Structure 1
């Protein structure tokens, strides 16, 4: 199963675009920062990941404010079939997590 859930902030958005078939695509860069335990040691984990939402959820994703922690669920896939880079494909947007 390929399911990915992440609490992150949108730090950069691209303009809404459309596929040749007319499907809307919203793209952004997400920033994740959290404390994690590994081998009984706490460490800070931070990373950026490219994300996109297609179809009906794209407008909701595109309308999210910058820099607000939100829970996202989806899956990871290659940017394209010849790429090694991953993109987080969002298919569910959870609640905003305010400080």
Structure 2
């Protein structure tokens, strides 16, 4: 199963664009800061990752005032068949 829930702050977004079929696309950067338990200790995490969304979710994300704190739901997948560069695909957020 490929399911992801990640909280963070959307710190950057590209201009809104549309697929050839007219579906809105959101592309941006999410910054995450947190801690996880690992091997009996606490590990501090700080990273940025590329995120993408389509349709209604993209329109909602595009309308946020940045920086915007969110909890994302989605999955991880390569950007395209020609690359193994991973993106977080957002299916919902609050």
Q: Same fold (TM over 0.5)?
A: yes
Counterpart for residue 91 of structure 1: 91
TM-score, normalised to structure 1's length? 0.89
Matched, 1:32 2:21: no
Paired residue total: 94
**Which residue is 1:18 aligned to?**
18
Distance 1:5 1:81 in 2: 24
Q: Hey, what does 2:5 align to over in structure 1?
A: 5
CA distance in 2, matches of 1:36, 1:75: 20
- 8 Å Cα contact 1:73/1:91 also seen in 2: yes
From the superposition, tell whether residues 27 and 43 of structure 1 become closer, same or farther in structure 2 (CA, over 3 Å): same
Deviation at 1:72, TM superposition (A): 0.3
1:75–1:88 CA contact under 8 A, matched in 2: yes
> Please, what TM-score do these two structures have when normalized by structure 2?
0.93
* Root mean square deviation of aligned Cα: 1.0
Aligned-partner SS, 1:56? helix
**Number of the residue aligned with 1:48:** 48
CA distance in 2, matches of 1:65, 1:86: 26
TM-aligned CA deviation for residue 69 of structure 1: 2.3
User: Which segments of structure 1 move beyond 6 Å, counting only runs of 4 or more?
Assistant: none
Contact 1:10–1:65 under 8 Å retained in 2: no
